[in-house]
Amino acid sequence: MRQYFKNIFVAIWTILIGLKLTFKHLFVRAVTIQYPDVKLKLPDRARNRLYVNIDDCIGCRQCEMACPVDCITIETVKALPNEDLGVTSTGHKKRLWVTKFDIDISKCCYCGLCVYPCPTECIYMTDVYEFSEYNRHNLIYHFSNFTPEEAELKKKEVEQFELEQKMKKAKPAEQVTVNNPENIEKKS
């Protein structure tokens, strides 16, 4: 019988304790962050969207090789001797046209392994993390200054130049063969 009344008393008492707690929390400041309006500050080393500063890129392909998921595609074209591409901000001389620098960010695993080998520190992680797209193809980012047509043109130009070079090299060799009397004898 005593236990019965004690139970009732404990029940009422504990309900009051619980109510006190919930009332207290009614006035505690909410921890909610109203996300699109207010954003949490990201940590310094947060890895999010990749960015390439193409002006500094020397086309060394180190990042392409480091990428474990092969999401970086680079195509380069040799600069002609009469073209001066200048230097990067880190002082490296640029010798190659970077005609294609594509990052398929939908494949990217945000490991950051491409960032470390870059000699000119031109590929790095930014703090942008809102880049959803309706079309998957929009997630392939083109960082190169060349359009595909321009790249094609450049390639042809270089091929042309190389062909000319070959011709120049080949011509003196031919003359040698012609002028050599022994060769003539063999031929006849």
Partner 1 sequence: MPEILNVLIASVIPLLFILVYAVVILWVEIKVASHVQDRLGYMYTGGFHGWAQPIADLLKLLTKEHITPERSDKILFTLAPILVFASSYAAYAALPFTSTFIAANLNIGIFYIVAITSFVVIGILMAGWSSNNKYSLLGAMRSVAQIVSYEIPTVLSILTVIVAVGTLNLQEICEIQKGGLFSWNIFKYPPFMLITFLIYFTASLAEVNRTPFDIPEAESELVAGYHTEYTGMKFAMFYLAEYANMFLVSGIAAILFFGGWSSPFGEFLAGPGWGVFWFVSKGLFFVFLQIMLRWTLPRLRVDQLMYVSWKVLTPISFVNLMVVGLWAILK
- The answer to whether 71 is annotated as binding is no
User: Which region, judged by CB under 8 A, interacts with partner 1, from 21-29, 49-57, 94-102, 128-136?
Assistant: 21-29
Instruction: Say which residue the tokens 């060799």 belong to.
Output: 173
- The answer to whether 122 is annotated as binding is no
Question: Is residue 1 close enough to count as binding partner 1 by CB under 8 A?
Answer: no
- The answer to whether 63 is annotated as binding is yes
Rounded distance between C-alpha atoms, residue 118 and residue 61, angstroms: 9
At a CB cut-off of 8 Å and minimum separation 6, what does 51 contact? 123, 124, 125, 126, 143
Q: List the structure tokens of 150.
A: 């321009």
User: Which region, judged by CB under 8 A, interacts with partner 1, from 14-22, 88-96, 118-126, 165-173?
Assistant: 14-22
Name which position in 1, 2, 34, 187 contacts partner 1 (CB under 8 A).
Answer: 34
59 backbone φψ class: left, alpha, beta (φ>0; ψ -120 to 50): left
Between 5 and 134, name the residue whose CB sits nearer to partner 1.
5
At a CB cut-off of 8 Å and minimum separation 6, what does 128 contact? 48, 49
Between 33 and 167, name the residue whose CB sits nearer to partner 1.
33
Q: Which residues bind partner 1 (CB under 8 A)?
A: 8, 12, 15, 18-19, 21-23, 25-32, 34
